[in-house]
């Protein structure tokens, strides 16, 4: 095969591979793109997040009913930076709990977050102090409730309205 024919064959194969559909890489799987290494930036799509600890958060609604949520716990700086970025879905009964060392007014944005979320801001006394419902994905709009919080629980968009959880609702956090 001549040099030109070999070059054309390799180019055609590369085009076929680049144009073919592939399943999305799971968040915990290593990056497999040719000549690509995982990023060290937690906000980058190719960043491989270490396994996060898990907990159960149980919230009471206005009628006294309970609503358990199994959560990943974001207690480190990198986990807080990454948050729910690049996830294509979040199942009912699942979420992410951000734990901060102190209680203060917090604000979140949805950069690289692909799904709408509800954000429940929780005070040190473990009561919901405010809720941002249906935060639009892929925006840099700052979202806050303007009240100090020590915890923020992210759940699927619309969860708060469905569950009847409101500001003042008590919260229990069980670590595993």
Interval 54-101: pLDDT, tens: 999 999 998 899 999 999 999 788 878 777 787 899 999 999 999 999
Global pTM value: 0.74
* Residue 142 resides in a domain: yes
Structural domain for 108, as ranges = 54-175
* Residue 31 resides in a domain: no
Q: Dihedral through CA 9, CA 15, CA 20, CA 24, nearest 10?
A: 120
* Residue 168 resides in a domain: yes
* Residue 155 resides in a domain: yes
* Residue 157 resides in a domain: yes
Secondary-structure percent of the chain, ordered helix, strand, coil, rounded to 5? 15, 35, 50
The pLDDT tens digits of the residues spanning 12-45 come to: 433 333 343 333 434 444 444 544 667 676 556 6
* Residue 39 resides in a domain: no
* Residue 24 resides in a domain: no
User: Domain tally for the chain?
Assistant: 1
* Residue 88 resides in a domain: yes
Q: Is 9 helix (H, G, I), strand (E, B) or coil?
A: helix
pLDDT of residue 77: 85
CATH number at residue 119: 2.60.120.1140
């Amino acid at each position: 095969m001549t040099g030109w024919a070999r070059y054309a064959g390799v180019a055609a194969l590369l085009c076929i591979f680049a144009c073919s559909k592939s399943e999305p890489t799971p968040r915990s799987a290593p990056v497999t793109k040719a000549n690509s290494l995982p990023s060290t930036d937690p906000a980058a799509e190719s960043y491989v997040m270490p396994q996060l600890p898990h907990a159960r958060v149980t919230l009471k609604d206005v009628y006294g009913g309970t609503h358990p949520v199994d959560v990943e716990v974001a207690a480190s700086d990198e986990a807080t930076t990454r948050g729910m970025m690049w996830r294509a879905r979040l199942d009912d009964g699942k979420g992410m709990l951000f734990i901060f060392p102190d209680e203060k007014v917090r604000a979140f944005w949805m950069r690289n977050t692909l799904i709408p979320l509800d954000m429940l801001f929780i005070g040190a006394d473990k009561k919901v102090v405010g809720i941002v419902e249906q935060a639009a994905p892929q925006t840099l709009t700052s979202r806050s409730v303007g009240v100090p919080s020590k915890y923020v629980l992210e759940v699927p968009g619309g969860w708060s309205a469905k569950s009847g959880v409101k500001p003042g609702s008590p919260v229990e956090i069980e670590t595993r």
